[in-house]
Every structure is written in C-alpha cells, then in structure tokens.
C-alpha cells in the first residue's frame, strides 16, 4: 500500500502527532517529558499544581461554518489558560486531545494546530502531550491546562468577605454580540451565498468572539503590586452566573451597580441594532474570558491605578442576596441564565 505522507491517512495517528508537534520544542524546566510517551512528566518542585480541562464540541461551542480553524485552536487553548489565571496561577503546559472526521484535510488540522501553537507562544506554555482520534460524529477538542501557583497566593471562589470590592477586568458582553453578528451573517449566507458578509466596523466584537485573550496581564499586575484578591473566577458564562458562583461558594451576598459594569461602545452600538439591552449581554453573554474578583478595600488601593480594572460593586451579608442595582436604585436579583447548555432558552 502506497503511503501518502502529505495526508492524514498516510501519516497515521502517531505520525500525525509528531508532524503537528515537531516544531514546538518544550520551553520550561518543569516539562521533563513532553509529547511522545504514555504521559507527560512535570517537575513542579515545591509549587502547587493547578489543573483544568474542558471539552469543546462542534455545533455547541463552535461552528465550522464561520470559525476559522486557526482561531478555533487558539480559542480552545485560551479558554483553559483563563481558568488557570483565575486561580492566580501561571499556566505552564497544555495537553491536547482532538477527535475529527476523516473528511478534514491535513491542512485544516495544521491550521488548527497553528492556532494552538500561537497561543502556546503568546502565553509561554509548553504543549506537553496529545491524543488524536478520528470521529464519525462531530469534531471535539479537549484541552487540559496545567499551571503552577504558590500555596499562599492561590485564589479560590470561596474567599469573598463582606465589604470586599467586586472588580472586573476589561469589558463585558462583546463576545456575545460578536457571536450574534456571525450568526446573522451565517443566516444571510445560507439564504443567499452571493451576498458578501457585513462585518465592517465591528472588528473588536469579532476579535472578542473569534480570538479572545485571557488576562495574564492582570495576574502579572497582582504579582507586581503584591495585591491578593479574596476570591476570583473567569467570566466564561456571563457576569451574573459567575458572581453567583463566588457568592454561593463564599456564603455571602453582593450588590452590583449597573452603571459601573464596563461595556464597550461597539457592544452598545451593535446591541442597539439587534434590539438587545447591552447590560443583558454583559450579565448573561458568554465567553468574555475576563476576570471577576473580590478584594478587600485595603488591598484595592494597590491596584486602583490599573485602568483595565473596574470596581462594580461590593460583597454583602448573604441574607441580602445577590442583586443588581439599576440606575434608578431598583434591586434586581441576579439569575444564572448564562451559557448553561442544559437549560431551555426562555
């Protein structure tokens, strides 16, 4: 049988992994053994090990009609690095498990890996292992990210205390609006493939949806300023859902002030076009990959110069519940309506 070295079939599973990972030498001393054995071997010495894993499914988390493969690879890594940063830890390695249809070309898989590689470069992470498999259903990408942290600096969801300030990085709701834009153009394209997509003027929203960046800079800033949040979570399911996680795990309540929630002008503009309240996109939209954290007023002084961090509320006793305070002073209980795949939309 003639083997075609430039096809996936010709390379075979092991050849494919070697082909895809050969130009990714390991960078960290902690990566004793990267790809190519039964498991990766890591030397974390006295540091704590922080591990997270998630799975992205075609049709649920990404749509191959409008997601370029390189962006998909990049975003799949980012989603996991964001979880490591949310522990106030530093990612060091990722392990990639990939299942895809035999209809995919080698070029498409290479493009996916070029996105994975770029994310590894940008965030100084080693690809430490991987598994590829064929799929007769859809494509699935599962990434495990491993990082290191210091015992006294790991930040859990459970440490929020009464009177702590509640802060977010960046702005919220943009990735959700970016998705709405892509969905609209997909519908138009499916109805009439001749029509060119209308994506101009929304570069920021598209970037937030297609190529999000995790907030490594915020973790660096905490380290430089020696500031320590009391609790932290990354915003992947919407502000409302994440604030509830922190309050539930910490046994506290919260007040979030609508007027302080950071929303980009581009988000507001497109929200108006779609007849969506921008605040709803910020509260319930997914995939922002910003950080939500609580910090004592004393520690807040150390970080308040950072223009990308906004204080949006404070922690209260649990019996006051978790509320959004609108511009006119109305209390609205927070609800977890975010990116929760099992709930019916209502």
Residues 203-262 that bind its own copies (CB under 8 A): 232-234, 245, 249
- Asked if 51 is part of the footprint of its own copies (rule: CB under 8 A), the reply reads yes
Q: Which residue's CB is nearer to its own copies, number 80 or number 267?
A: 80
Q: Does 326 bind its own copies (CB under 8 A)?
A: no
Question: 70-89 mask for its own copies (x: CB under 8 A)?
Answer: -------------xx-xx-x
Of the listed pieces 20-28, 41-49, 165-173, 310-318, which binds its own copies according to CB under 8 A? 41-49
Per CB under 8 A, the segment of 28-36, 116-124, 278-286, 312-320 that binds its own copies is 28-36
Residue 167 found at the interface with its own copies (CB under 8 A): no
Sign of the dihedral through C-alpha 287, 290, 291, 297 = negative
76, 95, 181, 256: residue in contact with its own copies (rule CB under 8 A): 95
Position among 14, 65, 105, 201 found at the interface with its own copies (CB under 8 A):
14
Sheet of 331-333: strand order equals 231-235, 290-295, 165-169, 309-316, 253-257, 322-325, 331-333
Q: Could you identify the residue written with the tokens 């929020």?
A: 160
Give the range of 146-154, 177-185, 254-262, 271-279 binding its own copies by CB under 8 A.
Answer: 146-154
Nearer residue to its own copies within complex by CB, 207 or 335? 335
Q: Which of residues 125-144 bind its own copies (CB under 8 A)?
A: 128-129, 131, 133-138, 140, 142, 144
* Residue (of 68, 302, 15) closest to 207 by Cα position: 68
For 49-76, give the secondary structure using H, E and C: EEEEEEEEEECCCECCCCCCHHHHHHHH
10 Å CB burial of residue 160 (0-12, 13-18, 19+) is buried
Burial call 32-69: b when 16+ CB within 10 Å, e when fewer? eebbeeeebebeeeebeebebeeebebeebbeeebbeb
Q: Does residue 231 contact residue 294 with C-beta atoms inside 8 Å?
A: yes
User: Does 41 interact with its own copies (rule: CB under 8 A)?
Assistant: yes
- In 3D space, the residue among 230, 207, 346, 217 whose CA is nearest the CA of residue 287 turns out to be 207
* Cα 47 from Cα 197, distance rounded (Å): 49
> Is residue 36 part of the contact set for its own copies (CB under 8 A)?
yes
| Contacting residue, 5, 46, 152, 327, with its own copies by CB under 8 A | 46
Cβ 163 to its own copies shortest distance, Å: 23
Among 2, 23, 37, 328, binds its own copies (CB under 8 A): 37
Please list every residue from 262 through 301 that binds its own copies, using CB under 8 A.
none
Selected range binding its own copies among 5-13, 19-27, 266-274, 324-332, rule: CB under 8 A = 5-13
Structure tokens at 26: 């390991």
The minimum distance between CB 252 and its own copies, in angstroms, equals 16
When asked if residue 44 is in the footprint of its own copies (CB under 8 A), the reply is: yes
Closest CA to 236 of 286, 200, 280, 270: 286
């Amino acid at each position: 049988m003639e083997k075609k070295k430039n096809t996936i079939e010709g390379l075979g599973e092991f050849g494919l992994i070697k082909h895809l990972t050969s130009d990714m030498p390991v960078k960290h001393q902690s990566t004793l053994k990267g790809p190519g054995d039964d498991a990766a071997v890591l030397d974390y010495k006295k540091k704590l090990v922080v591990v997270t894993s998630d799975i992205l499914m075609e049709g649920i988390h990404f749509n191959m009609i409008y997601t370029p493969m390189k962006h998909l690879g990049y975003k799949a890594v980012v989603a996991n690095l964001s979880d490591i940063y949310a522990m106030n830890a530093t990612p060091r390695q990722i392990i990639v498990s990939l299942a895809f249809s035999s209809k995919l070309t080698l070029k498409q898989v290479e493009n996916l890996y070029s996105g994975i590689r770029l994310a590894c470069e940008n965030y100084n992470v080693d690809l430490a292992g991987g598994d590829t498999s064929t799929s007769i259903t859809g494509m699935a990408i599962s990434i495990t990210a491993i990082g290191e942290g210091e015992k006294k600096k790991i930040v859990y969801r459970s440490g929020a205390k009464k009177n702590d300030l509640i802060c977010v990085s960046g702005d919220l709701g943009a990735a959700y609006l970016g998705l709405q834009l892509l969905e609209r153009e997909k519908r138009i394209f499916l109805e009439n493939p001749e029509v060119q997509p209308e994506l101009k003027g929304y570069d920021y929203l598209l970037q937030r949806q297609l190529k999000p960046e995790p907030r490594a800079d915020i973790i660096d800033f905490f380290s430089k300023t020696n500031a320590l949040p009391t609790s932290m979570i990354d915003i992947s399911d919407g502000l409302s859902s994440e604030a509830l996680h922190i309050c539930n795990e910490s046994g506290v309540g919260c007040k979030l002030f609508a007027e302080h929630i950071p929303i980009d002008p581009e988000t507001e503009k497109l929200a108006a076009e779609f007849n969506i309240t921008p605040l709803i996109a910020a509260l319930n939209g997914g995939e922002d990959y910003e950080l939500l954290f609580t910090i004592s007023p004393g520690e807040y002084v150390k970080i308040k110069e950072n223009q990308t961090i906004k204080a949006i509320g404070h922690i209260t006793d649990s019996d006051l519940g978790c509320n959004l305070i609108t511009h006119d002073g109305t209390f609205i209980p927070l609800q977890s309506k975010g990116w929760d795949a099992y709930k019916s939309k209502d």
